[in-house]
Amino acid sequence: MSCYDRRDLGLLLLRLGTGGVLAAHGTQKLFGWFGGHGLEGTGRFMESVGYVPGKASATASGLAETGSGVLLALGLATPAAGAAAAGAMAGAAAVHVPNGFFAQEGGCEHPVSLGLVGAGLAVTGPGRLSLDHALGHVLNRDWMVPAALGVTAAVAAVVIGARNKRVRAQAAGEQETLFEE
């Protein structure tokens, strides 16, 4: 097996594993599959952590995770798929960061890992064992990588920034008065 064959097989394994995990998480949100709460339950959760409106946020998150997961697994539109995965996971990581890094403490380890793999696949490409390769890379051009990652970073920054502002405002409103006048 040549170096290129091993690399292509490794990229296929990364794409299938990461894509499968992302798609499973997304379908939990969208359809309630795999023990998920569907749009209604996920929407209520999204509202509780500052993503408003909740149902629209659940829909966007579920579509980003499901869509990016399926596309990564197929190796199709890899720059956009990887960027979408990274953006969705940045939003998830923002919720978990206050709990530290490690997942057993409710930290951001899992979404950070998935987001980094998604971004890494956007940059490296899907390999030869992919639909992008079979289609002549029409949806995997070099210019698409910075474009997809840049647009995703900008949108994620706006969405996460608005969420963080809401969370801070809510926390400030919930503080108790220390001294009575």
- CA dist 88 and 174 (Å) reads 29
- pLDDT above 70 coverage of the chain, percent: 94
Helix, strand, coil percentages for the chain (3-state, nearest 5): 75, 0, 25
Residue 15 dihedral angles phi and psi, to the nearest 5°: -65, -45
43: number of Cβ within 10 Å: 23
Give the tens place of pLDDT for each residue, 87-136. 999 999 999 999 999 999 999 999 999 999 999 999 999 999 999 999 99
Contact 128, 59 (CB under 8 A): no
With residue 29 as reference, give the H or E element that holds it: helix 3-31
pTM of the model: 0.91
Phi-psi group of 137: left, alpha or beta (phi > 0 → left; psi -120 to 50 → alpha; rest → beta): left
pLDDT per residue as tens digits for the range 1-46: 666 699 999 999 999 999 999 999 999 999 999 999 999 999 999 9
